[in-house]
Structure 1
Amino acid sequence: MNRMKWCLPILTTICLFPDSVMAAEPTAEPWVYEDIEELAAQGYLELPDKDLHSLSRTELSTLVAKALARIEDSQGTTLADEYGRVTRLLVEDKVQLNLSKEQLEAAGKIFRQREREARRASDDLARQSLRGVNRLEVMGPLQKRAKASQVRLQAAARDFAVARQRTLRRQRMNDELAQRQNDLLNAMTSAATGVGPELMESFGASSTSGTIRTSGGFGSSAADLGEGGSGMPYTAAMDANSASPDRTYPNGSRLLRDSSARDADAIARASALRTEFMSELDDAGYIDDQNAHLADDLPVKNLQRPRLRVDGEVRVSDGHSSGDRPEYRRNDTELRLRVYPDYDIDGNWHAIGMVEAKKQFGDKHDKDDEKIRLDRYYLEGNIGLAKVDVGAFSSLMAEGNVYDSKFKGMRISAGNPVVYTMEYGKANDTDKAWNLTADYEQPTYGLGAGVYRFEGGYDRDNAVADGKQSVAMARAHQKMGDVDVGAMILYGKDRGKQGTGYVVSVSNGTEKSWEPRNRSWWLKYYYQPYETYYSHTMNGTADVMRRYGGFKGVGAGYSYTLSKDWLFNLEYYHLWDLDTDKQSNTVWGSLTHYFKNYEN
């Protein structure tokens, strides 16, 4: 009886928590949990500390979305790239495994302590009972202490079970990743030497230990492979040399999708999970309406992209504005060509540019009419965890409600899930400009804030003059069914004057020039004193209205993809200036054809 009293909490824990958690109604079929754990073991996602069976379908779908994204990112990479990714994950998993072991050890100590305490409390209660002591003042505290010790033991037993399951799961994932790392190393060796793993073993290369030996018996670890005289370095050229004449790759060479049954298994599992959680993923905005299966999104053959990629567009546009002031009345027709070269320097840094030529037929004839000019030129690459742009690039500030044009200087972006961005240099006709922003985006909502500073540049009359203009911005948007609702608040100061404005928007869909019959639209209401913007993105008369205090009014836009790479746009603006309430109306339309020298 004495032993049964302190064993009771443990038996209760085993009954109530067979998988180390409180038994609950399963939210998915058993195969779902097995497939998620297998994808985690293969390095495609990180499992939470909570047991999978305790997660809701929404939480499970979030894990599935992460795995799908990781699998898509891994397609088309070299074996060396995947080896590097798996090695990084293995290091991270070893750290997590060590932490789990420490937690298991600590939980074990607490469990054993609580076990001893429960045994002593139960012993004291049983002994007094056997002696015939029934006085309330004696037995009451003993019973209370025994009960409390059993509750603590049950909690400790549960924590120990959870820690043990977590450690076993981490150990399994670590073993799987170690095996995958070894398989990749053998595949690279086979690609480099043209010798399969079986034949490599006959020459002394172990397929399980991760060590390659020369005929003389000297070996090197996987980490040291290729150093000294005992190993052969792996290079991207080995992948290229392993290609067949038709540029397809056999097992053990370029595409992991084609070379690894493990990845084929991962894709099959992920596809089944995507089908299972289709509605949850769709509600979260992960799945496009046109994509019903994972295989539609993942490449099935290697596409060789040129080192110099070229995108381009030819656009014809026509805009007509009318209003209460002569400067509001305009007719502009323009034919424009833009070519965007992108040269891959070393796999990280890219040299990017934009060459523009245009011909204007209406009332507007600026200094660039009938000229060919290099309007964008910059380097883009990663330094550590930061993305860096240096040169003359395009800058879209506050979704274009503050500035949308060329920026000469430097841009640095870093962070996840909050992305921090800093730009420093010169905007159009300024002496100096800089901005700092923070953005947090999720599939169904987003938040952002920023501050923008222009020194010199345009004053209220659109004349270049000394002075400073500063704008602070905060924004939020939320997906509601098929539409996205957003709001932005702007506070600006310009040469001693200040003003507060806002923009409210409703939108549906996004422009997709590659998807025939794709539609999207947006509707906005603006209230922006001139202090809140420097060069507005709209095709209406916002910039002209700066001299009249700014503008307010509505804007609407519609886009339709006529066929692949042919996009039609139509926009309408009905605005009033803030000083005199004079109005303007603008209708602007365009037809754009896109082209490029590579396949997606």
Structure 2
Amino acid sequence: MRKIFIVALVMSIATGAATASQPGNPGEGYAADPAVTADNPGYIAPWLYTALIDELMAVGQAGRQVDHKLKVDGEVRYHYSSNNGFWRQDASGLRVYLALNGAIDRNWRVYGRLEGKKKLLNYSNDVELSRLYAVGKLGRSTIQAGSFGYLMAEGNIYDSGFDGIRADYSGPLHYTLSYGKTNASANTAVAALRLEDFDYELEAGIYHYQAAGGWKNTIKTLGANYNFSNFGVGAMVLDSVRKDVKGNGSGYVAALNYGDLKSWRPGTYKIFAKYYNQPQYTYLAHGMNGAGGRMQGFKGYGLGLNHTVVENLVAGIEYYDLADKVTGRRGQTWWGQLTHYF
């Protein structure tokens, strides 16, 4: 409304200036301007023009003012994991996230996350600042720098903290370049290329890292997802330079999804089914809640359902039946959680 008022004011003053500044009828407070004539009735004196431009610039700057208010949200999650087969240790605990973010300027924000865990059964007891990073725009690229979460290859390679820098370029093709370290590796470099359309996406990636033992590995991935209505189907192939003791270095994951979970909308849900066939060196720290991370590669399936019970309260149940690709030992896991968002 203020901008509309000022534009109207400019037009009004321009017309008034043409009349009030006519020779013989000088405007009050300033001398007649000889450049105002019947042939140039819209002329505005330089001092008036400068004042109006300054006012318009002030309005524009006000529209771009940075909101420096600190924003806070979080979640509280209870989980229970029941394990059978080769790994029989159950686990249970509470986890609390307190996330904060604030603006640095118009293009950059800083994010932090305080994380606390409380052991109920074979879990952790600690409090830490698990995330602290800045996000900003450089041209058409989005930059993240610091300690942030990284989901690599939809979690089929890694799903945890990353210390370093990441650049995402958005255009007809989406590019991602990253360098840093994970909780399981150093000198970790990522290059990914993604093509997205209304109902499908294709992605190819290269993930190179140095493990704690000093050895190096490179994982290459190619994945595709197709979504229509609330149903989705996806597949990914993974190939590692390093092989397990049986010479296996290539694997795949197939996935089905149904539903559209929204934590703020009661009654919404999402169901997933996945089949895994991943040799040992095709992942760093897998994102699943099954026992695959304790195996030398794994093969089997996982099923899960998440449901919004009431607003901002989500309940979930998952089941995994996996076999070790080297030893053949099997393990079954039931994993349940209840999460409140605030």
Normalised-by-shorter TM-score class: 0.7 to 0.9
Q: Of 531, 536, 544, which aligns to 2:286?
A: 536
Choose between structure 1 and 2: higher strand proportion. Answer: 2
Give the 3 Å change call, closer, same or farther, for CA 513–482 of structure 1 in structure 2: closer
Partner residue in 2 for 1:24: none
Residue 307, structure 1, aligned to residue 62, structure 2:
no
SS at match of 1:536: coil
Residue 486, structure 1, aligned to residue 234, structure 2:
yes
Amino acid at match of 1:317: H
SS at match of 1:455: strand
**Conserved in 2, the CA contact under 8 Å of 1:407 and 1:426?**
yes
How many Å apart are 1:559 and its aligned residue?
A: 0.8
**Conserved in 2, the CA contact under 8 Å of 1:473 and 1:490?**
yes
Residue 472, structure 1, aligned to residue 220, structure 2:
yes
How many Å apart are 1:214 and its aligned residue?
A: 4.8
Residue 340, structure 1, aligned to residue 95, structure 2:
no
Unaligned runs of 5+ in 2: 19-41
SS at match of 1:234: helix
**Conserved in 1, the CA contact under 8 Å of 2:67 and 2:103?**
no
Unaligned runs of 5+ in 1: 1-78, 80-186, 206-211, 241-253, 255-303, 458-464, 596-600
Give the 3 Å change call, closer, same or farther, for CA 423–498 of structure 1 in structure 2: farther
How many Å apart are 1:551 and its aligned residue?
A: 0.3
Q: Of 203, 225, 235, which aligns to 1:448?
A: 203
SS at match of 1:416: coil
State the distance in 2 between where 1:467 and 1:203 align.
80
Partner residue in 1 for 2:78: 316
State the distance in 1 between where 2:123 and 2:203 align.
36
**Conserved in 2, the CA contact under 8 Å of 1:189 and 1:234?**
no
Per the normalisation by structure 1, the TM-score is 0.49
State the distance in 2 between where 1:407 and 1:217 align.
56
Partner residue in 1 for 2:29: none
Residue 398, structure 1, aligned to residue 213, structure 2:
no
How many Å apart are 1:403 and its aligned residue?
A: 0.5
Instruction: Name the count of aligned residue pairs.
Output: 317
Partner residue in 2 for 1:260: none
Amino acid at match of 2:111: I
SS at match of 1:351: strand
State the distance in 1 between where 2:309 and 2:89 align.
28
How many Å apart are 1:360 and its aligned residue?
A: 1.3
**Conserved in 2, the CA contact under 8 Å of 1:203 and 1:215?**
no
Amino acid at match of 1:473: T
How many Å apart are 1:499 and its aligned residue?
A: 0.7
How many Å apart are 1:472 and its aligned residue?
A: 0.4
State the distance in 1 between where 2:16 and 2:69 align.
39
**Relative contact order: is structure 1 or structure 2 higher (C-alpha 8 Å, sep ≥ 6)?**
2
SS at match of 1:531: helix
**Conserved in 2, the CA contact under 8 Å of 1:486 and 1:506?**
yes
* Aligned 1:256-295 pairs, distance under 5 A: none
* Aligned 1:55-134 pairs, distance under 5 A: none
Partner residue in 2 for 1:233: 57
Q: Of 327, 333, 338, which aligns to 1:586?
A: 333
SS at match of 1:399: helix
Partner residue in 1 for 2:113: 354
**Conserved in 2, the CA contact under 8 Å of 1:525 and 1:555?**
yes
Give the 3 Å change call, closer, same or farther, for CA 359–217 of structure 1 in structure 2: closer
Partner residue in 2 for 1:103: none
**Conserved in 2, the CA contact under 8 Å of 1:505 and 1:525?**
yes
* Aligned 1:43-58 pairs, distance under 5 A: none
How many Å apart are 1:521 and its aligned residue?
A: 0.6
How many Å apart are 1:347 and its aligned residue?
A: 1.9
Q: Percent sequence identity over matched residues?
A: 32
State the distance in 2 between where 1:554 and 1:189 align.
61
Choose between structure 1 and 2: higher helix proportion. Answer: 1
Residue 559, structure 1, aligned to residue 314, structure 2:
no
**Conserved in 1, the CA contact under 8 Å of 2:224 and 2:234?**
yes
State the distance in 1 between where 2:232 and 2:160 align.
25
Partner residue in 2 for 1:172: none
Deviation track 1:178-199 (CA, whole Å, cap 9, x = no partner) reads xxxxxxxxx63735x9x74653
Query: Which structure would you say has the larger Rg?
Result: 1
Give the 3 Å change call, closer, same or farther, for CA 213–421 of structure 1 in structure 2: farther
Per the normalisation by structure 2, the TM-score is 0.84
Q: Of 346, 363, 376, which aligns to 2:131?
A: 376
State the distance in 2 between where 1:443 and 1:572 align.
31
Amino acid at match of 2:198: P
Q: Of 489, 502, 505, which aligns to 2:252?
A: 502
Deviation track 1:10-57 (CA, whole Å, cap 9, x = no partner) reads xxxxxxxxxxxxxxxxxxxxxxxxxxxxxxxxxxxxxxxxxxxxxxxx
State the distance in 2 between where 1:380 and 1:553 align.
38
State the distance in 1 between where 2:151 and 2:165 align.
14
Give the 3 Å change call, closer, same or farther, for CA 200–311 of structure 1 in structure 2: farther
Residue 514, structure 1, aligned to residue 338, structure 2:
no
SS at match of 1:233: helix
Partner residue in 2 for 1:329: 88
Give the 3 Å change call, closer, same or farther, for CA 232–416 of structure 1 in structure 2: closer
* Aligned 1:123-202 pairs, distance under 5 A: 188=3, 190=5, 196=9, 199-202=12-15
Residue 407, structure 1, aligned to residue 149, structure 2:
no
Partner residue in 2 for 1:267: none
